[in-house]
Amino acid sequence: MDDAMDCLMSFSDFLLAFQIQFYYSEFLESVAAIYQDLLSGKNPNTVIVPTSSSGQHRQRPVLGEASMLEGVEASLFYQRLESLCDRHKYSCPPPALVKEVLSNVQRLTFYGFLVALSKHRGISQALGALPDKGDLMHDPAMDEELDRLLAQIPDLVNSVSASPEASCLPSRTPHRAGFSWRPLHHARKVDAESDGSTEETDESEI
């Protein structure tokens, strides 16, 4: 998926694409190698004959961004994939469905090929792991259970507020005690003064 520059997809499309890459991982690795060979212009049937100039290193033409996005020819790509599927070394999509996917375009990228496979209804049905895209996020049993739980929320709130335990819960607004605050050293000073006045009163009485 190196040719996917900035691709956003829905969660349903992501699940379908993940399904394809999960079940056909080995097949897609070989497909990616074939795609890179075609993109670089390498022909698998080419016979290399050594010559006097074979020792010289030739630079490959740099592929521009336009050619990378343009992809490869679909018919040539299918010929290589057909021989790959015939070997049956690993699980691969039904060749007839692969041909159907590639027959709708003239050129394609590797990312476009993955998207086409994931969106093909026949390939998804052949795997049988996920339902159709329209039913992928639809679960009547789960919807009914969710509605039942949501309906219980008002009754649950009312029962909690009316229970005897709710009256014992502390209030959110704390009650302030009605006393005046004074510093500790000031309180000690006042007490000392009051003690002295008492002693003076006693001496005067004597």
pLDDT digits (tens, 9 = 90+) for 43-69: 554 443 444 444 444 444 444 444 445
Residue type, 26: E
Distance CA(91)–CA(24), nearest Å, equals 6
List the domain range (segments joined by +) for residue 24: 12-45+64-133
Q: Which two tokens stand for residue 30?
A: 């070989």
Residue 107 pairs with which residues in a beta bridge? 73
Residue 94 in domain: yes
Give pLDDT, residue 8.
65
Distance CA(187)–CA(189), nearest Å, equals 5
Residue 143 in domain: no
Residue 125 in domain: yes
Distance CA(13)–CA(5), nearest Å, equals 17
Q: Do residues 92 and 27 make contact, with C-beta atoms less than 8 angstroms apart?
A: yes
Q: Do residues 77 and 38 make contact, with C-beta atoms less than 8 angstroms apart?
A: yes
Residue 98 in domain: yes
* Domains contained in the chain, number: 1
Q: Do residues 45 and 76 make contact, with C-beta atoms less than 8 angstroms apart?
A: no
Residue 50 in domain: no
- The pLDDT tens digits along the chain (206 residues) read 444 445 566 666 676 667 777 777 888 888 889 999 888 876 554 443 444 444 444 444 444 444 445 788 888 888 888 888 777 666 777 788 888 888 888 888 988 888 888 786 777 666 665 555 555 555 677 667 777 888 888 766 566 555 555 555 555 555 555 545 555 555 555 555 555 555 454 544 44
Residue 122 in domain: yes
Residue 27 in domain: yes
Residue 82 in domain: yes
Give pLDDT, residue 187.
52
Gyration radius (Cα) of the chain, Å = 40
Give pLDDT, residue 105.
84
Give pLDDT, residue 193.
54
